[in-house]
Amino acid sequence: MAPDTRIYRYLALICHLLLVAWIAVWQFALSTTQTYSLIFIVLLYLVPILLPLPGVIKGKPYTHAWANFVVLYYLMHGCTVAYAVPAERLYAVIEILLCTGMFAGCSVFARKRGRELGLGIKKLKVEMAEEKAYFEGQKQQGTNLGE
């Protein structure tokens, strides 16, 4: 793995772990308005961010890519709380910063590591050229067989 790819992997991993810890601390210790049950808080706030964690720990580029969809949920939560709940604005800003770090780390790591492993999507003109060569080869084989 290239050194710059490793940096983005660590950025994603550290921000992910800190986000899990921050959500738990915020919801269980710092929140002054506990109107939800413990089970509801765990299911709503902790389970979604824990789903991609095993793949992020293992360094799988595909998991990093789809983890971005999960982190957007927390980014929306942070933006909403920052706007609507002035008493918890600082907590929301911390969540927004961790989400931004995780999103950037996951995005760049998935792209760079995917390219290193050859998992990238080919450009259309390359794909078209390969298909053309393949079908022209099939056409020539068919004419050679018919002779």
At residue 108, the pLDDT reads 94
Neighbouring C-beta atoms of residue 63, cutoff 10 Å:
19
Residues 48 and 16 sit within 8 Å (Cβ to Cβ): no
Residues 46 and 23 sit within 8 Å (Cβ to Cβ): yes
d(CA 7, CA 72): 22
d(CA 100, CA 15): 9
pLDDT tens, residue by residue, 16-73 = 999 999 999 998 888 777 677 889 888 989 999 999 999 999 999 999 999 999 999 9
Q: Does the pLDDT value for residue 144 go beyond 70?
A: no
**Is pTM beyond 0.85 here?**
no
Q: Does the pLDDT value for residue 145 go beyond 80?
A: no
Residue 146, C-beta contacts closer than 8 angstroms, at least 6 positions apart:
none
